[in-house]
Amino acid sequence: MSDATDLVTRARAFVGKPAATPVAARDPVNLPAIRRWCDAMGDRNPVYQDAAAARAAGFDGIVAPPAMLDVWTMSPFRPGGRASTERMQVLELFDAAGFTGVVATNVEQDYDRYLHEGDRVHCTAIVEDVSEEKRTALGVGHFVTLRYEFTDDAGDAVGRMLFRVLKFRPPLAQAATAQAAAVPKSIPHPRPAVTHDNAFFWEGIKARRLLVQCCAACGRLRHPPGPMCPQCRSLEWRTVEASGRGTIHSFVVMHQPRLPALHYPLTILLVELAEGVRVVANLLEAGAQQLQIGRAVALDFVEVEPGYLLPAFRLA
């Protein structure tokens, strides 16, 4: 029997058996954890945070986002890794055999009902399947399929999950090549030409502040940056920070030509700031079909490459 066959045989001995000790959630379903999750996902569905909106949508009170089903019973952070009762022996078998890499490849969740504040989630996991050795983009490995059942304090089912991970042997010898091939953007995002006249603007953007030039003599605001006031010709100026509120003055949707570092179709806005000047910036998180002239927008900043920020707007 080869080593690989032996490993699969030993791993398959776990099939049909509990993958780990059953878990009762340490904390009940609670609003602070829901809020943190909604913040991280950018999810503003009111049924997760606003009791009146949840009742209007047919619930008794706020409910947890369904995707949090398996969050409540996740193992807590422990320096040095998981406690022995939290580890899955079937996965440790692969670790010991050198398949130390792990990535999740599939999740299927079925929900029987939405969870509400105070629900305490219990979970059991069964090993469902262990694959033969497979050659994958990440390296040689085995797929391990786990099936979870989630219940409430009364023992009634609230949902179930199929979770598949790939345990793979990190191709260390090829890591350098893989890195070169896998870096998402080989062609960098275009950068602005920073000059004596506009450096203040880009310094402000780096600090997540949109600065507008203001003539020190007559007080007129101007943008884009320039050395002289077009009204009184003064060369003296200061800056004011824009509030970030504005409306769409115009917009264009770019389809061609396509620059490698940008995403298309690219919606570019001309925003009339509340302060009265207009700025050009991209639209975030919406399609052009949601746009109309005059629609309110709010300023945000996008880190398009590490350390390189651009101003952008989302629908307000």
Partner 1 sequence: MTFDDLRPGITLPELLIPISASQIVAGAMASHDFEDVHHDKAAAQSKGVPDIFMNILTTNGLVQRFVTDWAGPAARIRRIAIRLGAPNFAGDTMKLSGEVLQVDGAERLAQIRVSGRNGLGEHVAATVTLGWESTWPRR
Return the residues of window 14-53 that contact partner 1 according to CB under 8 A.
33, 36-37, 39-47, 53
Residue 59 or 200 having the CB closest to partner 1: 59
In whole angstroms, the minimum distance from the beta carbon of 124 to partner 1 comes to 18
In whole angstroms, the minimum distance from the beta carbon of 59 to partner 1 comes to 6
Number of amino acids touching partner 1 (CB under 8 A):
73
In whole angstroms, the minimum distance from the beta carbon of 275 to partner 1 comes to 26
Cis ω for the linkage preceding 260 (within 30 of 0): no
Instruction: Give the DSSP H/E element, type plus range, for residue 303.
Output: strand 296-305
Question: Residues 6 or more apart from 296 whose CB is under 8 A from it?
Answer: 245, 246, 247, 315, 316
In whole angstroms, the minimum distance from the beta carbon of 17 to partner 1 comes to 23
173/257 Cα distance (integer angstroms): 39
Residue 263 CB-density burial (10 A; 0-12 exposed, 13-18 middle, 19+ buried): exposed
Residue 12 or 314 having the CB closest to partner 1: 314
Residue 112 or 236 having the CB closest to partner 1: 112
In whole angstroms, the minimum distance from the beta carbon of 107 to partner 1 comes to 5
Q: Which of 196, 221, 227 is nearest to 279 (CA)?
A: 221
Q: How far apart are the first and last CA of the chain?
A: 64
Strand ranges inside 131-277, DSSP E: 134-136, 139-151, 157-168, 211-215, 221-222, 237-241, 245-254, 266-273
Under rule CB under 8 A, which residues in 287-316 are in contact with partner 1?
A: 287, 289-290, 302-306
Tell me the one-letter amino acid at 13. A
Q: Determine if 75 is a binding residue for partner 1 (CB under 8 A).
A: yes
Q: Lay out the site mask for partner 1 across 208-247 (x = CB under 8 A, - = otherwise).
A: ----------------------------------------
Q: Lay out the site mask for partner 1 across 87-106 (x = CB under 8 A, - = otherwise).
A: -------------xxxxxxx
Residue 15 or 138 having the CB closest to partner 1: 138
Q: Which of 189, 178, 176 is nearest to 260 (CA)?
A: 189
Work out which of 30, 31, 49, 59 binds partner 1, going by CB under 8 A. 59
Work out which of 107, 194, 216, 268 binds partner 1, going by CB under 8 A. 107
In whole angstroms, the minimum distance from the beta carbon of 218 to partner 1 comes to 39
Under rule CB under 8 A, which residues in 147-176 are in contact with partner 1?
A: 168, 170-172, 174-175
Q: Which of 253, 242, 234, 227 is nearest to 279 (CA)?
A: 242
Residues 310, 302 contacting (CB under 8 angstroms):
yes
Work out which of 110, 153, 236, 241 binds partner 1, going by CB under 8 A. 110
Residue 214 or 254 having the CB closest to partner 1: 254
Under rule CB under 8 A, which residues in 119-138 are in contact with partner 1?
A: 138
Work out which of 76, 155, 230, 257 binds partner 1, going by CB under 8 A. 76
What does the block give as tokens for 194?
Answer: 């920073």
In whole angstroms, the minimum distance from the beta carbon of 139 to partner 1 comes to 6
What does the block give as tokens for 23?
Answer: 């878990």
Coil, strand or helix at 304: strand
